[in-house]
A and B are shown apart, each in its own frame.
Chain A
Amino acid sequence: MAQRSGPGQAALPRRGEMRRKNVRIAYLTILPVIVILLAVKAYPIIATIYRSFTNWNGLYQNDFVGLANYKEFFGSGLFMVLFKNNLVLLLSVPLQVIIGLIVAVLLYEHVPGWKAFRAIYYIPQIISLVILGYLFKSMFSLDGPVNQVLESLGLGHLAKEWLADGSTALPIMVGCITWYSIGWQTIVILGGMSSIDPCVFEAARLDGANFFQRTFKIVLPMITSVITYCIVMAVVWTFTSLFSLIYSMTGGGPGYETMTLDYMIYEKSFVTGSQLGMACTISVVLFVIIMIITAAEMKLSNMAEKKWG
């Protein structure tokens, strides 16, 4: 006993010392991340909020104007124009989630080659939205292939510059975004479905449930948390990540017909160049909208978990 306690006692302080050393190293390891995020994320957010109350133009003009930018942004109707475009683009979210769910259920049947199909569906996500945007643009241009098909079908009178017309540009973009996102939705939903017991499907099939009953009455309720995740990611993504697509397809035009909140920040600050204060105001509004969506998501997914487990 005495012999045993010897090394044990000697080891104890060594252990404590090592723990302290580990903690010291742990602080050192997270330090670079904290410094980078403070300098390039946290500080700019605070600066953006402060500047949103000024008439800053990037040069000499930087006076505190209170809520004037916000009043102008909401009062002039600009907010509603941009927000309406954002909302139209959001129509893509239900489309991509429903199609993604159906495709995931089809892939779940594990027909020959389903793994190859799954890999192919993800390809659009690998190609830059800049490239896809220009591709779509040339397809829908006046002498592009879409109009050629229309002419060959005898519908030549319908041919037009599709993206130069606000009433067609936005719906076309909704279609493109949906097409682009199906692969991601499918793979994530399919990943969520892998936790469902295969017996459930077999039982449903034996009970005579058809494809749509199986999809929407059995699969859907069992993966609500995955679906909420998919919806929220897609909504936030649609609000924040469409810059490349809008830039290459329409540049926000014609007029403001395809201009969204996030694109307007770029337009006000780096194109027209002088309204940095206003651009910061729009940034804050966009930021608040995204915060609300994320908070709502957390509430919803908690509710969903309570209801369906």
Chain B
Amino acid sequence: MGLTVMAKQHNPTQKFWRTFGRVVIFIILLILAISFLYPLYYMLINSLKSLSGYYVDPFGLPSEKLQWQNFATMISQFKILKLFGNSFIISFFTVLGLVAFGTVASFSFAKVDFKGKGGVYMAILATLFVPAQVTMIPMYISFAKVGLVDSYFGVILAYWAMFLPETIMLMTANFKSIPNELIEAATIDGCGYFGRLRNVVMPMGWPAISLSIIFFFICSWNDLFTPMVLLKSMDKRTVMVALSSLIGRYTGDPPYQYAGLLMSAIPALAVYAVFQKSIVKGMSMGAIK
């Protein structure tokens, strides 16, 4: 009796503090969220200002006519869409190769017993922590010998080597959780190796496969070092390489710079906006960095 009374008396104040605490937490999280969105907002408002408008007030909304020509110039003069195309070709074939080589190899690592499996797997993972800079010089020299410098395929090959270990680690861990019974059932149904891959592994392992596709598309889209070193001719450069030389030339015109920076960020952000759920889920498993 006494206890229930006490609980009833306590409940409203406890509930108040509980709610109060949650409101405080919400506000803290909101402020943090604004800090992460602000750079995008900042680039957007300033890319639509004139140069003088920017210097008068970089924080306010554009007060005069919106300067869409910053974006128009990006497309007509800077040919940013052509650069998007270059980046897209490289990212697309990078991801295609990762999935093609990665799924078949990971299937073998996860579900087939063969001699030397453990050793080969460890050797592949050991290359994970080798930084790109360490291998770049001899790679560049050998690529130059076989005509892979200044070709898309050279960059794609370098990315395959860079991202395959992580892809295989991620996919193998995931494929291991596919029940053996399913694979056996597919075998009894007359599926060969690639039949099992297509009918069982691909659908069951889709979380890992899709995460690799999205994550490494964004990685290769955003990278600067490899394409900057390997691509020489102007019309082959990726958007990040072209951007870095553009920004250097237009230091006096921040609104124009912001238009370029913002546009180059959009494709990766669009991919993230669409596949946000599977990225966050994959990251939660601590799969990749």
Contacts and interface: CB of A to CB of B under 8 A. Distances in A.
A45 B132 CA distance: 10
A220 interface: no
Interface in A184-231: 184, 187-188, 190-192, 194, 226, 229
Interface string A276-289: 10011001101100
A128 B283 contact: no
A153 interface: no
A40 B139 contact: yes
A121 B43 contact: no
B33 A23 contact: no
A48 B221 contact: no
A36 to B, nearest CB: 5
Nearest to B161: A40
Interface string A101-122: 0010011010111101111111
Interface stretch (A1-9, A65-73, A87-95, A130-138): A130-138
A247 interface: yes
B29 A138 contact: no
A134 B268 contact: no
A248 B261 CA distance: 12
Contacts of B132: 240, 243
Contacts of B5: none
A183 interface: yes
A279 B137 contact: yes
Classify chain A's interface size.
35 or more
A265 B30 CA distance: 41
B25 A109 contact: yes
Interface stretch (B77-85, B102-110, B174-182): B102-110
A123 B114 CA distance: 42
B138 interface: yes
A80 interface: no
Point out which of B137, B138, B141, B165 has the most chain A C-beta atoms below 10 A from its C-beta.
Answer: B137
A76 interface: no
A190 B229 CA distance: 37
Secondary structure class of chain B's binding surface, majority of residues:
helix
Interface string A137-169: 010000111001000000000000000000000
A44 interface: yes
A122 B280 contact: yes
A123 B269 contact: yes
B12 interface: no
B272 interface: yes
A12 interface: no
Contact of B134 (A130, A138, A243, A287): A287
A42 interface: yes
Nearest to A239: B131
A124 B35 CA distance: 10
B57 to A, nearest CB: 8
Contacts of A33: 101-102, 105, 124, 164, 168
Nearest to B289: A233
A26 B157 contact: no
Contacts of B109: 30
Contacts of B104: 29
Given A120-B33, A276-B137, 6 more contacts: A30-B108, A117-B33, A126-B271, A135-B42, A187-B284, A280-B137
12 contacts: A44-B138, A106-B29, A120-B33, A126-B271, A128-B240, A135-B42, A143-B55, A145-B59, A241-B131, A247-B224, A248-B244, A276-B137
Interface of B: 21-22, 25-26, 28-30, 32-33, 35-37, 39-40, 42-43, 55, 58-59, 101-102, 104-105, 107-109, 112-115, 120, 124, 127, 129-139, 141-142, 157-158, 160-161, 164-165, 168, 187, 193, 218, 221-225, 229, 240, 243-244, 247, 254, 257-258, 261, 264-265, 268-269, 271-272, 276, 279-280, 283-286, 289
